[in-house]
Structure 1
Amino acid sequence: MVRIPLTPEQVEAGRRLGALLREARAGRDPELVARAAGISPETLRKIEAGRMPSPGFGTVVGLCEALHLPVQTAASIWLGSADDAEQLAG
């Protein structure tokens, strides 16, 4: 199967999502957060660093649950609507 390259916008969306998740983790042990989300610590590192710009929906949901972060907030950040994310988080 050939993967279609991501657009620059998709790569940037992955960076925004990674930054949000890193901020939401706020110093908590990444291994514990990853395990609670049902993913490997390496996968969490890749997502937070923006090296995995399009994680699966289940992965994002698991991380949101582990971090007590509304999925709507993550979706708004990923879609580039920071104002909406602030309103949802606040």
Structure 2
Amino acid sequence: MVRLPLTPAEIARGERLGALLRRARGDRSILETALDAGVSPETLRKIESGRIATPAFPTIAAIAQVLGLSLDAVWDEISQAERGGTSSPVSS
């Protein structure tokens, strides 16, 4: 199966997702967060850096649960630029 290149919108959404997860993680280590979510630290690092712009839903659901984020809040944050919004469910 050939994977199509990501669109600029998908890349931007992945960057917003990474920023949200970094803010929500705060001072908690990548290692601790990843292990609690059942994902590899490298996977979490790549998602937070935007290198995995379209991670699998179960991966995001597990990380969000560990960080205390609702999936609605995650979706609202990562799709806000497409709607022209500026709200943020996690303070910086």
Whether TM-score is above 0.5 comes out as yes
Unaligned runs of 5+ in 1: none
Could you tell me whether the CA contact under 8 Å between 1:61 and 1:71 is conserved in 2?
yes
Which residue number in structure 1 is paired with residue 39 of structure 2?
Answer: 39
What whole-Å deviation, never above 9, does each CA across 1:41-78 have from its counterpart, x for those lacking one? 00000000011000010011000001011111111122
Provide runs of 4+ in structure 1 moved above 3 Å.
81-86
Alpha-carbon distance in 2 for matches of 1:37, 1:11:
23
Alpha-carbon distance in 1 for matches of 2:88, 2:37:
21
Confirm whether residue 13 of structure 1 aligns to residue 13 of structure 2: yes
Give the secondary structure class of the aligned counterpart of 1:2: coil
Question: TM-score under structure 2 normalisation?
Answer: 0.87
Alpha-carbon distance in 2 for matches of 1:3, 1:37:
26
Could you tell me whether the CA contact under 8 Å between 1:18 and 1:50 is conserved in 2?
yes
Identity of matched residues, %: 42
Aligned alpha-carbon RMSD (Å) = 1.7
Alpha-carbon distance in 1 for matches of 2:65, 2:37:
7
What whole-Å deviation, never above 9, does each CA across 1:11-66 have from its counterpart, x for those lacking one? 00000000000000001011010011110000000000011000010011000001
Unaligned runs of 5+ in 2: none
**Structure with higher helix content:** 1
Question: TM-score under structure 1 normalisation?
Answer: 0.88
Count residues with an aligned counterpart. Answer: 88
